[in-house]
Chains A and B, each alone.
Chain A
Amino acid sequence: MKRALSALLLMIVGVLAAAGAHAAELQVPKQVTAGNAFSIPTTGSGSATFYLVGPSHSAKRQVKLGSGIEVAEDEIRTSGRYIATLCSSDGCESADFFVAATNPAHLSLLVHPSRVRVATNNAMSAVAFVFDKFHNLVLQPVPVEFHITVKDTPAFSKSLNSSNGVAWLHLNSARKEGPAQVVASIQSDSEKRVVQQVASDACNLRIRAVRKGKFIAVETEPVRDCSGNSVPDGTVVTFTKVDASGKTTVDAPVKRGIAKVDMPAQGEATISVASGVAMGNEVRIGGTP
């Protein structure tokens, strides 16, 4: 009889303990906004240990059951999934919640490439990423305004809504060389990038040659691409001369739009020119009179 009473007493304590553990259940909101403090209500009594684990933050502290657990704004600045865990003498209870980005505040703009040949379709891409003040990607659609300015051509604008934090567009390069300025902006921020539009391969490469004593002075006409843009100074032009003494080659860089070289010559000579994979004309020079 005494044993039966003891067993009954233990069962009552167990039921009461189970009821106490149930009181420590966590009730967290499904989603909160980054940087906004909130409170997690608890029930029961006594003390417990609270754990908060997020993408870039973790915390552990003692809390009193029955009162709210305050989650400070600096604990939830990074967006993502967080796990809150409450451990008391009765066991542990966990719940997760999502911290979403707050209002758009910053913009990052990637423009590729930094140099592009003129007159090329879909040659440039501009990709804008929208962030909040804590540098969380803002996943909600945000209108992003792209503004492209190229020298001597009308400016071009396009407004796009970001999708999952990203807005992008492809651009053609202009027919004229020069910098293209790409600006992406949201209400609170804007970013600017510059793409250098450069001349393409040399086109209609032509030379003229004049004999000057023992030398032949060879000079290109202004070296331009097929759109009429001058190739950048420093572009290598290869001159090749064949005469009785053999072959002479010179890799001469373009300077102020033209490349020139003086080559020694014996008798008749044939001179040709090339730049990269573009071939130019060929001239023949007669022997010394």
Chain B
Amino acid sequence: MARIGGLLLIAITLVLVAAGWVTSGGLTRHEIRSASTPTEAVQSLLADVQAHNWDRAYARLANTGDVEQAAFTRDLNGSNGSLRTFSALESYDVWPQHSNGNEAVVRANLHWSTAVGPIDDVRDLKVEHKDGSWKVAWPVPSFPKVPPQVIPVNYLRWDIINRGAEDDWGEQNVDTPQVRIVSMNPIERPDRLIIVGEIVNEDTIPAYVNVNATLLDQSQNPLSQEGSFDKISHTLLPKQVSPYRIDFPGVKLSQVKSVRMDAKAMLVPASADPVIEVTAQRMDKDAMGKNVLRGQLINQSGQTVNIAQALAAFYDSNGKVIWVSDGYIDQALLPQTPVGFAVDLPPDVAGRVQNSHVTVNHYSIANNS
């Protein structure tokens, strides 16, 4: 009986020790240590990022001495009300680039689901073999810091007073702004028809613009109708030019006899601030080998731009718009701080591009503009 009691006591002690090991993260540590390939290490890390399990993701890093957990989390989770803060890692693709037994490079294509639609982020991650398992050496994040200063901003602002309900019917209201479509070119792609062009605000007041197009078939009947949605700078200051792009999925150019364009303009309050400089623009290739126009955005204002969108028009040698593409920037634009951007374009178009023009749409949480 005494022997049975002793064995039972030992068994209970072992169970309690095992339970303590599990609850203290021993199982997790074992799992973390057990990444047997570089790809597996990156996959496990991204699985934790996807689950917002920052502690566990951080524990999978090889360089925790160089990267603080707060910085690591901020790097992936976003900050300053940027687009990344309104995003979630939906899925990822991982594939090895090269490996020498102790070090490897793994390419990860992160598919983010954001407030403005899906965004892909390709990263080449260095993976090290350490303590018997593979761990990710996360690039040390560097966050720009804006020094304390006063930035005087005295750009114009336009406010509107409309006609009142009690005014005489003949009382003059303020006319809507005059805008003009300066170019419109149809482009046939394998899966769609795209209409690209530019619109200018010819007036002396700001305009909120939208461009719609109706495709007419051989009998002049409407075939399809679409709008530019976010492929346009909606708020145009006086004499400002914006590219626009309207996609018609599943339509062939041969089906279309003519196109009816409709530019709608509304009078809206607006501000000339912030001014965003688009600098260091150059044609390049990204990690996936795609043609991209790269550059940097510099917010010249004193106010943080939370979400920015680069909208690029590409021209051929005759100055004709041959492509329009856009890209959202997942970082906030802090004052006077360059932030990189890239917009892609198809290879057959890239060969014909002679010139480009980038405009920037911006949204600031502080003033809802």
Contacts and interface: CB of A to CB of B under 8 A. Distances in A.
Contacts of A263: 277, 279
A234 B277 contact: no
Interface stretch (A1-9, A94-102, A240-248): A240-248
Interface string B202-218: 11111000000000000
Given A233-B156, A234-B158, A277 B281 contact: no
Nearest to B202: A276
B51 to A, nearest CB: 40
A13 to B, nearest CB: 59
A109 B175 contact: no
A25 interface: no
Contacts of B276: 250-251
21 contacts: A110-B170, A112-B172, A114-B174, A115-B205, A129-B170, A201-B239, A231-B204, A232-B238, A245-B282, A246-B280, A246-B295, A248-B279, A249-B278, A249-B357, A249-B358, A250-B276, A251-B237, A251-B240, A264-B279, A276-B200, A276-B239
B268 to A, nearest CB: 13
Nearest to B358: A249
B53 interface: no
B256 to A, nearest CB: 28
B200 A277 contact: yes
Contact of B356 (A194, A247, A261, A276): A247
Nearest to B357: A249
Contact of B239 (A108, A112, A202, A255): A202
Contacts of A237: 239
Interface in B127-174: 154-156, 158, 168-170, 172-174
A253 B273 CA distance: 9
Interface residues of A, number: 41
B245 to A, nearest CB: 19
Interface residues of B, number: 39
Pick the 10 closest A-B CB pairs, nearest first.
A108-B170, A276-B239, A246-B282, A253-B272, A248-B279, A247-B281, A234-B156, A236-B240, A198-B204, A235-B238
A246 B281 contact: yes
Interface string B240-284: 110000000000000000000000000000001001111111100
Interface of A: 108-115, 129, 191, 193-194, 198-199, 201-202, 231-238, 245-253, 255, 261, 263-264, 275-278
Contacts of B158: 234
Given A232-B204, A277-B182, A191 B277 contact: no
A249 B300 CA distance: 13
Given A108-B168, A115-B205, A250 B175 contact: no
Contact of A112 (B175, B280, B282, B358): B175
B357 to A, nearest CB: 6
A196 to B, nearest CB: 8
Nearest to B200: A276
Given A129-B170, A246-B295, A249-B358, A235 B237 contact: yes
B359 interface: yes
A114 B173 CA distance: 7
Nearest to B173: A114
Nearest to A233: B156
Contacts of B282: 245-247
Interface of B: 154-156, 158, 168-170, 172-175, 182, 200-206, 237-241, 272, 275-282, 295, 300, 356-359
Given A108-B169, A110-B172, A199-B204, A236 B238 contact: yes
Contacts, number: 112
Contacts of A276: 200-202, 239-241
B287 to A, nearest CB: 19
Nearest to B241: A276
A26 B339 CA distance: 88
B273 to A, nearest CB: 9
A194 B272 CA distance: 26
A279 to B, nearest CB: 11
A93 B224 CA distance: 59
A108 B167 CA distance: 11
Contacts of A202: 239
Contacts of B200: 276-277
Given A261-B277, A263-B279, A111 B169 contact: no
B240 A248 contact: no
Contacts of B358: 249
A193 B172 contact: yes
Given A246-B281, A277-B241, 16 more contacts: A113-B175, A114-B175, A115-B204, A193-B172, A231-B239, A232-B238, A234-B158, A234-B204, A235-B204, A235-B239, A246-B295, A249-B277, A250-B277, A251-B240, A275-B239, A276-B239
Contacts of A113: 175
Contacts of B156: 233-234, 253, 255
A250 B275 contact: yes
B278 A248 contact: yes
B3 to A, nearest CB: 83
A114 B158 CA distance: 16
Contact of A109 (B170, B204, B241): B170
Contacts of A251: 237, 240, 275-276, 359
A235 B206 CA distance: 9
Given A235-B238, A247-B282, A248-B281, A255 B154 contact: yes
